[in-house]
Structure 1
């Protein structure tokens, strides 16, 4: 079977790029060209190009992996996105990615592109832990390996903030306007956080650069949503059947897709609204809704699934008792939300339950469980603080934290940047106060939770029930 390429004849039932790829030139550089970006922002860009063609091709950058870049080159940037539901599968070959580059092989090429005025937008999906954000200082975590390296060696970046600073530095030196930086990761007020980190690192090297970025840069916030499981051999075999060619980059995903963006761009943007993107003045209500209802529930499902030996989200949701726990968690979390323009929150929660139950999506609980120290502060802990401040008991949040602690104690190899601290906490759990060693982990739990004896007692009570079960 031949490999997918620009010359591959595709079956009529496969959705194809609705524009001339041969005329497409780069206008976006994307850092973190993994599964989520390819099933989300690249799909929106495909729709935008079909509606209103322009120089908005994507150069996909992987800071660490070379395999995905080599696969993109071998397939002329093409890959298959399979939207799956109980109603059936539909395949789309996406063409908006025009080139792939790797930070380990092509650093200078990446930086040269960032300094090229043709690149007007830099989008980012690298996961929460990659930014080197310290939630206590609300600035750079100077102990983060990439942050430390980029502070010590400007000009040869290794981390995402270092690349953004060096790219902006080169534009400043050339007298060019900055590119717009659009963060698409699950950080609260993500654009403002990335702006703060970039300005702090720039200021450490060149105060004039920091002032220029502060005055002229644009860092719009955005909220992204689509469930994209890790691809498997089954995914690739399904794509081969659907498109009649081998595709090493094929992805499974759900039909649902959402992107809410603050409309603040320096030098234009694609017509992403053609794919359904919503442009708003304030993203925060949507962002908080998604973090606390979808992502918070996902964390509950993940740790419960890992403790109960349930591999996929759909397996957890198939147990009525566990499904009820997810619903209870949403009902607690929704009380911390302000009204969200255009969203019926009760309907949104029903839709989430339906999405989690999708029998065709093999979303592993193990995948969601990773990096808990980076995810739980915005998904669970912030909402718990607000719930307690309003007189609630935050009992579901306590349950999720108990699940996480039990998972950390049980799991031999925890996939988390603070794994050593978690293992130390697990080894030092006190019989009378088993959560204390975890709550004492520096720069993790808000003071309001650490000092709330009733809430801590709820966590401990839930841990005892889990131990007894």
Structure 2
């Protein structure tokens, strides 16, 4: 079977039930650079951008950040790939053509800073995950990180390839400044509260490490915008079976196949320094204040996702949908949203939190996605503070006991500390703090000591929460129950 590419589009047009680009992809110039060429970007921002083209040059040049697998899969396909929705109300498969350049960040002859420096680029988007920003617990740049320090020390060195997001952005903005200073908008699309402000702070902290950083930071203030966003779409990793099914449906091999749910949401702060794609044409919400949307998504959907993933993995459920077939886990997720998260939230106008809660559970129950509990539970030490500890803190301040949020935190602790499900089967769930917390398993026979070991980790728990007796009691109780 032929590999998907531009020359094949005319033949694919003869197939029923397949949506193809309604424009000549070769005629679309590049106006967006994206950092983080993964499945989520291809199922989310790229689709919004294609649907908001209006015949303008908003093609995307996307760079991988670590592995070059996505670039190797997509470059021979002229950037084309198929988005396959799974579940009720799914649209037919569509071939997306807005990705004009698929590049490897660690080896491409044209580096990301060089590409961003091109005046034709007016927007930079990012999906590098919470971990990729290299943040401290206070959500500033970890300037002690070895790669951050190396990028700063070799900032102007000939041939140096910046490995960190902060280094790449600072280098790009430095080049843009010295080559004419065209305005630019940097749009982060990760589950980080106030992600626009965080990325601006990360760049500012990196500039502070440079001899000429103050002047660069001042120029950025006047020429670059960092709007915050909220993104939402469940995009599990595509499997070989997914790719075989896509080939059968479209009549071509597609190594870039993306599988996702029908639902999608994008809320963007309406603050831009330069022209942008017409994302609102594709259903994005442009608003002056993304915070209410962000808080609902993080404290309800993302928090419930972490609870279901961690408790589900411990119970031996391979997927999120299977975990929600367990009535205890489903009820815990519902109670987390209704009893802990909702009272801490100011809902956006027109959003019914009860309806939102049930929509979240319905989406999680979609068996066609095959979203694994291990995948969602990955990097829990980064996700727990963002998704759950704000709710914990607010409920404690209100004199309430955050029972269900504490359950989610305790489940993460047991997942990392024990490393097996209830049948004793090993669980492979990567976490950046696994090394620091490795000794916790020896404390499993003493839940109080076990919880204390985790609470001492300041990268996750601030001192005032670690010392709270109510939270400590809840965590010890939950850990004891989960171990049984």
Tell me whether 1:272 sits opposite 2:279 in the alignment: yes
SS in 1 for 2:272: coil
Matches within 5 A, 1:70-469: 70-86=72-88, 90-106=92-108, 108-136=110-138, 138-155=139-156, 156=160, 157-205=162-210, 206=212, 207-331=214-338, 332-411=340-419, 414-428=429-443, 430-468=446-484
Farther off after superposition, 12-21 or 55-64: 12-21
Alpha-carbon distance, 1:280 to partner: 0.2
Farther off after superposition, 211-220 or 243-252: 211-220
Q: Is the 8 A contact 1:17 1:95 kept in 2?
A: yes
| Counterpart-to-counterpart distance in 2, 1:185 and 1:177 | 25
Alpha-carbon distance, 1:368 to partner: 0.7
| Counterpart-to-counterpart distance in 1, 2:24 and 2:467 | 60
SS in 1 for 2:92: strand
Provide the residue aligned with 2:38 in structure 1: 34
| Counterpart-to-counterpart distance in 2, 1:92 and 1:231 | 15
Distance 1:194 1:266, change over 3 A: same
Distance 1:401 1:174, change over 3 A: same
Alpha-carbon distance, 1:18 to partner: 2.1
| Counterpart-to-counterpart distance in 2, 1:109 and 1:204 | 21
SS in 2 for 1:259: strand
SS in 2 for 1:134: coil
Alpha-carbon distance, 1:335 to partner: 1.1
SS in 2 for 1:420: coil
Alpha-carbon distance, 1:342 to partner: 3.0
| 1:155-207 residue CA offsets vs partner (Å, 9 max, x unmatched) | 43111111000000001111212421100000000000000110111122121
Distance 1:76 1:402, change over 3 A: same
Number of residue equivalences: 465
Alpha-carbon distance, 1:110 to partner: 2.4
SS in 1 for 2:107: coil
| 1:105-131 residue CA offsets vs partner (Å, 9 max, x unmatched) | 126442221110001001000110110
The two structures have a TM-score, normalised by structure 2, of 0.93
Q: Is the 8 A contact 1:200 1:210 kept in 2?
A: no
Matching residue within 48, 51, 54 for 2:56? 54
Alpha-carbon distance, 1:87 to partner: 5.3
| 1:404-427 residue CA offsets vs partner (Å, 9 max, x unmatched) | 111011216541111101213344
Q: Is the 8 A contact 1:168 1:178 kept in 2?
A: no
| 1:66-96 residue CA offsets vs partner (Å, 9 max, x unmatched) | 2211221110100000011145662011111
Farther off after superposition, 143-152 or 245-254: 143-152
Structure 2 unaligned segments of length 5 or more: list them.
420-425
Provide the residue aligned with 2:422 in structure 1: none
| Counterpart-to-counterpart distance in 1, 2:169 and 2:132 | 13
The two structures have a TM-score, normalised by structure 1, of 0.96
